[in-house]
Amino acid sequence: MNYRHIYHAGNFADVLKHAVLTRLIRYMQKKDGGFRVLDTHAGIGLYDLSSEEAQKTGEWVDGIGKLMEADLGPQVSELLEPYLSAIRELNPEGGIRFYPGSPKLARMLFRPQDRLSAMELHPEDYVRLHRLFEGDHHARITELDGWLALGAHLPPKEKRGIVLVDPPFEEEDEYQRLAEGLEKAYRRFPGGTYCLWYPLKKGAPIKEFHETLQALDIPKMLCAELAVRSDRGITGLTGSGLVIVNPPFTLKDELHQLLPALKDHLALDRFASHRAFWLRGENKAVKDD
């Protein structure tokens, strides 16, 4: 309840999360039938990077600020086009003042048949999120603990969907809670595509978290991680990871192109790294660096 994403909007972790989210949405749209994006920890939906809070940390400068100015090459540019075009649409006068959170980004990419369910527990943030989507019949905004949505709001009536779980990690047991939440949700909606975000920082129980996930009865889980700096002498965030359950068959190869480019352009020191690998499934790792 204390976490406010405005301080971190547009940082390197958002870049990884939103780049992958757009790839998942575009893959879903290869079929004519509609689908639903369920965002369990939605935030306020749209962030003003000129605000006092965002300027206080300036994290976006080393995230989306770098990426928008980068020479990405044709293949990576094509993969990132839906994501970066949405940001340009929000900033028609140039520069980057407004940055879309996950629910706003998803909504900007939707076709008429696609739908959004966004959950937010923080009272003030819920009010702002609700106001952002007021009158939008493609979006359902609910003031709710996102962990509860993994039971009560699955499966979606469309029977197709992306479930984005991006908790604030304010509690020590959040990694375990994330694994338990996935297990519960998967039982209700085994055909869904899940995208779970987690932080990388010194002392984080990443190995144990991965082992817990591997022990679940879920056939396919792909993992992508991006670290922008060493964790030596740093207690805060050094990188982030995503676990994608039921990933599109194209995603592994797309990560092979995206992750090296993101590492090269967002690195904060020479220890920046990336890796992608199967936690469960095809056992063919994308090249680490």
DSSP codes of every residue in 51-94: SHHHHHH-GGGGTHHHHHT----HHHHHHHHHHHHHHHHH-TTS
39 assigned ligand-binding residue? no
Q: Is 273 helix (H, G, I), strand (E, B) or coil?
A: strand
Residue 41 marked in a binding site: yes
137 annotated as belonging to a binding site for a ligand: no
Which segments of 110-253 are extended strands (E)? 115-119, 139-142, 161-165, 193-200, 221-227, 239-245
The reply, when asked if residue 18 is annotated as ligand binding, is yes
* Six token digits for residue 203: 């002392």
Structure tokens at 172: 């020590």
Indicate the pairing of strand 161-165 with strand 36-39: parallel
Annotated ligand binding at 50? The verdict is no
Angstrom distance (rounded) from CA 274 to CA 266: 11
- CA end-to-end span of the chain, whole Å? 36
* Residue for token pair 């369990």: 40
* Residue in 14, 62, 125, 166 annotated catalytic: 166
Q: Which residues pair with 47 in a beta bridge?
A: 99
* Cβ atoms of residues 30 and 154 within 8 Å: no
**Quick check: is 166 catalytic?**
yes
Consult the annotation and say whether 166 binds a ligand.
yes
* Residue 172 DSSP class: T
Which positions are annotated as active-site residues? 166
Q: Could you tell me which residues are annotated as the binding site for S-adenosyl-L-methionine?
A: 18, 41, 102, 120, 145-146, 166
Q: Could you tell me which residues are annotated as the binding site?
A: 18, 41, 102, 120, 145-146, 166
